Amino acid sequence: MKGSYLLLVELKNTEIIPVGKLGKIDFKKGFYIYAGSALNGLDQRIQRHLRKQKKTHWHIDYLLNHAKIVNVFYKQSEIREECSIAKTLEKELPTIPGFGCTDCTCKSHLFYGSYEDIKSSIGNLEMKQYLINAKS
């Protein structure tokens, strides 16, 4: 299965987290939504993000070392849609500049907001909920 996904992440405490070449980022306690894509195995990519033990490779891995994925959403597609999803989220939620977008021209692929604001933004994207407990 190919497509795009969103990781809804909760950070329990405000923390300064080193994120690869981006350097140290001051993350506020609260909820974040990360937009990604996987055109070579969507289920495998999501499962990788859900694992606790993994090599730190992408920006999101640095955050996930300190935060918990509380929900995952996905959309099957043969084309990469993470940038259009990110641009939609950018209109409604504050960004973490430069996060997760080193291979595109987006401002960010990570957004911050209240749980309610994030869920509302996701509702406009026609994505399905990924069943975490059944897969992990």
Please, is 2 exposed, middle or buried when counting C-beta atoms within 10 Å of its C-beta (0-12, 13-18, 19+)? middle
Q: How many CB atoms lie within 10 A of CB 77?
A: 15
Number of domains, the chain? 1
Q: How many CB atoms lie within 10 A of CB 124?
A: 11
pLDDT tens, position by position, 2-13: 999 999 999 999
Give the structural domain span for 73: 3-135
Q: Which of 45, 47, 113, 44 is nearest to 82 (CA)?
A: 45
Q: What is the pLDDT along the chain (136 residues), one digit of tens a residue?
A: 999 999 999 999 999 999 999 999 999 999 999 999 999 999 999 999 999 899 999 999 999 999 999 999 999 999 999 999 999 999 999 999 999 999 899 999 999 999 999 999 999 898 999 988 644 4
